[in-house]
């Protein structure tokens, strides 16, 4: 039996990347896994059972976790996302910054770890080596799924001219870099380009207010700007359906699910040229732009909005390339934890 940690997933009302991973894996693991809540689970395991978590944790948040990892009868595995709170503490939730060092150390006490990208795996191993840990569990890469809404994959290969509509999905915070996107969009609107920019995401309560204020200031002046604070998966799929491209100017990611999910909808993605994003972008359907370069992003958006041949080529690449799905991720875990 796999005891699957759903401590935070069960009580969360938002759709973050972490919640997506937990919820979709739980669905695809099916009867092989039993969801448990750390606060109510009796923690009794047989020698062949596994405790699997894809959540973030600390001893303070999960009293007894350290002892459990050292003394439990069964086996333990974890999914690691990223070291962003350590790399960008000035723009990360204070709770995450405080928790992350102990979280990374606790991961070393699990029997197996999967990272959500090769870049994240290297970060975790680098942290452990820096800490001088003598014993480290094996760390493999788990390819996350692109099929976020369980709908069939969309493939655009008709060569049709697409409406001038862009979509950007992600929590409003400095890391997702919506300010750069708004700067580039404003430049193009002032040039006279007529297009729609749909910004989708909840607001980071610590760092998101200036971005919301910027959106609200631009909305009356540029009718193409539309903010969707609480769009569900169906609404997001609708925005993708009419989008010419998605835009993802992030400065740091563990995997970059919005890129994969855009491709699943058949929509090309203009993304930051980050090492972690290149793991999924180089196979096609994406255009990587210099990270945090306003001029480069303005030029890229101008071209994707006006160059039909470019968009058609990216659509064909998106339609014909392989994409990972959540069923495959769950199957890999079931096989490894059998």
Q: Which DSSP string do the residues of 143-168 spell out, in sequence order?
A: PPPS-TTSPPPP---S-PPPPSEEEE
- From residue 144, alpha-carbon distances to 83, 192, 327 in Å are 17, 39, 10
263, 155 contact by CB (below 8 A): no
Local confidence pLDDT in tens for the 338 residues of the chain? 999 999 987 554 556 788 899 999 999 999 999 999 999 999 999 999 999 999 999 999 999 999 999 999 999 999 999 999 999 999 988 889 999 999 999 999 999 999 999 999 999 999 999 999 989 999 999 999 999 888 899 999 888 889 999 999 999 999 999 999 999 999 999 999 999 999 999 999 999 999 999 999 999 999 999 999 988 989 999 999 999 999 999 999 999 999 999 999 999 999 999 999 999 999 999 999 999 999 999 999 999 999 999 999 999 999 999 999 999 999 999 999 98
CA distance 74 to 131: 27
Q: How many CB atoms lie within 10 A of CB 101?
A: 15
184: tokens are 């580039």
Long-range contacts, stretch 120-126, CB < 8 angstroms, 24+ apart = 120/80, 120/81, 120/82, 120/83, 120/254, 120/255, 120/276, 121/80, 123/82, 123/83, 124/80, 124/83
> What is the CATH number assigned to the segment(s) 2-145+325-336?
3.40.50.2000
For the chain, give every residue range classified as CATH 3.40.50.2000: 2-145+325-336, 165-320
Q: Which residues contact 176 (CB under 8 A, 6 or more apart)?
A: 170, 201, 249, 250
Query: Measured in whole angstroms, how far is the alpha carbon of residue 269 from the centre of its chain?
Result: 14
Long-range contacts, stretch 256-260, CB < 8 angstroms, 24+ apart = 256/117, 256/280, 257/17, 257/20, 257/144, 257/146, 257/148, 258/169, 258/170, 259/286, 260/144, 260/145, 260/146, 260/323, 260/324
Instruction: State the virtual CA torsion across 123, 128, 132, 137 in degrees, nearest 10.
Output: -140
Q: Map tokens 């452990």 to a residue.
A: 128
Whole-model pTM above 0.85?
A: yes
Its CATH class, for the domain covering 165-320, is alpha beta
Long-range contacts, stretch 285-290, CB < 8 angstroms, 24+ apart = 285/314, 285/315, 285/317, 285/318, 285/319, 285/321, 286/259, 286/314, 287/314, 289/249
């Amino acid at each position: 039996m796999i005891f699957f940690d759903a401590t935070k997933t069960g009580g969360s009302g938002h759709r973050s990347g972490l919640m997506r991973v937990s919820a979709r894996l739980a669905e695809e693991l099916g009867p092989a896994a039993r969801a448990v809540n750390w606060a109510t689970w009796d923690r009794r395991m047989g020698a062949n059972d596994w405790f699997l978590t894809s959540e973030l944790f600390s001893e303070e948040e999960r009293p007894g976790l350290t002892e459990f990892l050292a003394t439990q009868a069964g086996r333990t595995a974890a999914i690691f996302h990223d070291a962003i709170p350590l790399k960008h503490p000035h723009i990360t939730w204070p709770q995450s910054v405080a928790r992350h060092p102990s979280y990374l150390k606790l991961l070393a006490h699990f029997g197996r770890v999967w990272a959500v990208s090769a870049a994240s795996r290297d970060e975790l191993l680098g942290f452990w080596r820096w800490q001088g840990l003598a014993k480290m569990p094996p760390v493999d890469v788990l390819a996350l799924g692109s099929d976020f809404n369980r709908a069939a994959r969309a493939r655009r290969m008709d060569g049709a001219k697409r409406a001038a509509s862009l979509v950007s999905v992600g929590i409003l915070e400095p890391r997702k870099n919506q300010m750069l996107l708004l700067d580039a969009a404003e430049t193009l609107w002032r040039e006279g380009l007529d297009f729609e920019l749909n910004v989708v995401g909840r607001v980071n309560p610590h760092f998101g207010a200036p971005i919301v204020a910027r959106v609200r200031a631009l909305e009356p002046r540029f009718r193409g700007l539309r903010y969707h604070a609480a769009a569900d998966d169906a609404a997001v799929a609708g925005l993708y359906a009419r989008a010419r491209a998605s835009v993802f100017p992030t400065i740091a990611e563990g995997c970059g699910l919005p890129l994969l999910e855009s491709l699943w909808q058949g929509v090309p993605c203009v993304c930051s040229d980050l090492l972690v994003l290149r793991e999924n972008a180089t196979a096609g359907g994406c255009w990587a732009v210099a990270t945090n370069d306003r001029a480069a992003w303005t030029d890229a958006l101008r071209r994707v909005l006006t160059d039909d041949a470019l968009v058609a080529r990216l659509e064909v690449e998106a339609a014909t390339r392989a994409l990972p799905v959540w069923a495959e991720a769950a199957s890999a875990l079931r096989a490894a934890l059998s």
